[in-house]
């Protein structure tokens, strides 16, 4: 395994972490009374847009899974539209799953949907950038020993950390502490964000530590 590839992965993850940090620093300079807790829905939108933009730019620059085939413009447009459909479906599915896990069905619909969009941004969007709208590739990556590159390992780690973080973030909600961050879905979205950031930090470190043991099948 080339160390240069690990360095590319690390640099991409550092940029992603910095982009999330900027969503808490930059908006107060332009929006009055902005805060992550006080104007949480606005922050959810800003964070989702920022992470989406950064992921797409990093994918275009780094090209972690380059294709040797020449792709036509029409094929690129079709692929982009499929990715948009996949992302929207992911938001709907996450929304439904969150409701099944106890989120309000009728009340706080906007809050729940924006949280679903954030989760999709941390998980599905990453998959779409890396693997495209290819369900078989997704199943392969998230199956046992299915990773074919360090980018696949990174995808596994960041996705799982985001989902686990969101799940852990739900634990404080029913407690009678009367804290502002217990309002739905603040603790869950912060948990997902911290999980995503943790995954971005853990992935390159874990890959570097296990680089001698990691072997990948040819595509």
Of 115, 191, 203, whose CA–CA distance to 155 is shortest?
203
What is the residue-averaged pLDDT of the chain? 89
pLDDT tens, residue by residue, 175-185: 767 788 888 89
171 vs 188: CA distance, rounded Å:
9
Angle between helices 3-25 and 186-209 (to 10 degrees): 160
pLDDT tens, residue by residue, 78-105: 989 999 999 999 999 999 999 998 888 8
1 pLDDT higher than 60:
no
163 vs 19: CA distance, rounded Å:
20
Collapsing DSSP to helix, strand or coil, 6 comes out as helix
User: According to the model, what pLDDT value does residue 178 have?
Assistant: 77
Averaging pLDDT over each range in 106-115, 189-198, 203-212, which range is the top one?
Answer: 189-198
Cα–Cα distance list, 148 to 138, 141, 154, 156 (Å) = 12, 8, 11, 12
Span 63-70, average pLDDT: 69
pLDDT band at 2 (very low <50, low <70, confident <90, very high): low
């Amino acid at each position: 395994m080339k160390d240069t590839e690990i360095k590319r992965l690390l640099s991409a993850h550092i940029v992603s972490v910095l982009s999330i940090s900027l969503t808490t620093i930059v908006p107060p300079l332009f929006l009055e009374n902005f805060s992550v807790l006080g104007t949480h829905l606005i922050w959810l939108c800003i964070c989702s847009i920022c992470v989406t933009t950064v992921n797409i730019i990093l994918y275009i620059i780094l090209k972690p899974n380059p294709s040797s085939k020449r792709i036509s413009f029409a094929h690129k447009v079709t692929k982009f539209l499929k990715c948009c459909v996949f992302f929207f479906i992911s938001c709907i599915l996450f929304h439904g799953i969150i409701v099944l896990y106890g989120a309000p069905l009728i009340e706080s619909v906007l809050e729940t949907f924006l949280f679903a969009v954030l989760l999709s941004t941390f998980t599905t969007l990453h998959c779409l950038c890396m693997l495209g709208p290819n369900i078989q590739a997704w199943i392969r990556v998230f199956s046992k020993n299915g990773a074919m590159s360090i980018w696949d390992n990174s995808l596994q780690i960041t996705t799982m950390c985001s989902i686990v973080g969101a799940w852990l973030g739900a634990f404080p909600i029913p407690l009678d502490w009367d804290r502002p961050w217990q309002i739905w879905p603040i603790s869950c979205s912060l948990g997902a964000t911290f999980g995503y950031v943790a995954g971005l930090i853990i992935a390159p470190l874990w890959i570097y530590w296990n680089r001698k043991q990691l072997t990948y099948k040819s595509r």
